[in-house]
Amino acid sequence: MLRDHTRLPPAIVLVGVLGACSSSGSVFECQQDEGCVVAGVAGFCEDNGYCSFPDEDCDSGRRFGEKAPEELASVCVPRSADTDSPGSSTTGLAESSSSSDGTTGSGDTEVADTTAAASSSSSSTGSMPVLEGNYVFVSSQTVAVTESVVEDADVLCNDLAQAAGLPGTFVAWLSSEGDARDRLRLDNITAQGWIRPDGRPFANTIGELVLGTIFYPPVLDETGMHVGSVSVMTGTNGDGTRSDRCASWTDTTAKDRYLIGQTDAGFDRWTNTGLAACDVPNRVYCFGVDRVEEVSFTPVEGRLAFISESPLPANSGLEGFDAACAATAVNANLDGSFKALIATTSAPALARFDLDGQPWVNALGVPLTLEDAPLANVIRLDAPIGFLAGGEAIDAGLWSGAEAIGLTATTRSCLDWTSLDPAERGEYSRSPETVNWFGIGSEACDVTRRVACFEE
Task: Report d(CA 51, CA 87) in Å as an integer.
Answer: 9
172 part of a folded domain: yes
pLDDT at residue 373, as a whole number: 67
| DSSP assigned state of 439 | -
5 part of a folded domain: no
| Closest of 393, 396, 397, 449 to residue 111, by C-alpha | 393
Same-domain pairing of 189 and 317 = no
Same-domain pairing of 283 and 328 = no
20 part of a folded domain: no
pLDDT at residue 125, as a whole number: 30
381 part of a folded domain: yes
Same-domain pairing of 68 and 209 = no
| DSSP assigned state of 149 | H
Task: Report d(CA 355, CA 374) in Å as an integer.
Answer: 7
| Closest of 302, 435, 451, 438 to residue 374, by C-alpha | 302
Q: In what order do the strands lie in the sheet with 134-138?
A: 170-172, 285-288, 134-138, 194-195, 201-203
Residues 353, 337 contacting (CB under 8 angstroms): no
Same-domain pairing of 118 and 141 = no
Same-domain pairing of 119 and 167 = no
Q: Dihedral angle at the C-alpha atoms of 98, 152, 278, 207, nearest 10 degrees? A: -70
pLDDT at residue 227, as a whole number: 96
Question: Which ranges constitute the DSSP H helices of 226-288?
Answer: 246-249
9 part of a folded domain: no
SS3 322: helix
Single residue among 269, 288, 307 that ends a domain in this structure: 288
| Residue 280 zone, left/alpha/beta (φ > 0; ψ -120 to 50; rest) | beta
Same-domain pairing of 311 and 360 = yes
Same-domain pairing of 234 and 272 = yes
DSSP track, 85-141: STT-----PPPP----S-----S-EE-PPPSSPPPSSS-----PPP---EEEEE-SS
Same-domain pairing of 113 and 171 = no
Same-domain pairing of 251 and 308 = no
Sorted by sequence, the CB contacts under 8 Å of residue 164 that are 6+ apart come out as: 15, 18, 19, 197, 222, 223
Tens of pLDDT along the chain (456 residues) come to 232 322 233 222 222 222 333 333 457 777 777 678 776 578 888 878 888 889 888 878 899 888 888 778 888 988 653 334 444 333 322 233 333 333 334 345 444 343 333 333 333 333 444 457 899 999 999 999 999 999 999 999 999 999 999 999 999 999 998 999 999 999 888 999 999 999 999 999 999 999 999 999 999 999 999 999 999 999 999 999 999 789 999 999 999 999 999 999 999 999 999 999 999 999 999 999 999 998 878 899 899 999 999 999 999 999 999 999 999 999 999 999 999 999 999 999 999 998 888 889 999 999 998 766 667 667 789 999 999 999 999 999 999 999 888 899 988 999 999 999 999 999 999 999 999 889 889 999 999 999 999 999
pLDDT at residue 409, as a whole number: 93
Q: How large is the C-alpha radius of gyration of the chain?
A: 21
| DSSP assigned state of 321 | H
| Residue 114 zone, left/alpha/beta (φ > 0; ψ -120 to 50; rest) | beta
Strands 62-64 vs 360-361: parallel, antiparallel or unpaired: unpaired
Host domain of residue 84:
26-97
pLDDT at residue 377, as a whole number: 63
SS3 content of the chain, % helix, strand, coil (to 5): 15, 25, 60
449 part of a folded domain: yes
Look at the chain and report how many structural domains it folds into: 3
Task: Report d(CA 216, CA 195) in Å as an integer.
Answer: 9
Same-domain pairing of 263 and 320 = no
Single residue among 288, 321, 336 that ends a domain in this structure: 288
CA distances from 37 to 29, 180, 436 (A): 12, 40, 28
Single residue among 236, 261, 288 that ends a domain in this structure: 288
CATH number at residue 303: 3.10.100.10
Same-domain pairing of 280 and 311 = no
Same-domain pairing of 142 and 68 = no
Residues 132, 12 contacting (CB under 8 angstroms): no
Task: Report d(CA 297, CA 202) in Å as an integer.
Answer: 10
Residues 446, 420 contacting (CB under 8 angstroms): yes
379 part of a folded domain: yes
CA distances from 135 to 195, 215, 281, 292, 324 (A): 5, 14, 23, 12, 39
243 part of a folded domain: yes
Q: What is the helix (H) or strand (E) element at residue 207, kind and residue range?
A: helix 206-211
| DSSP assigned state of 220 | B
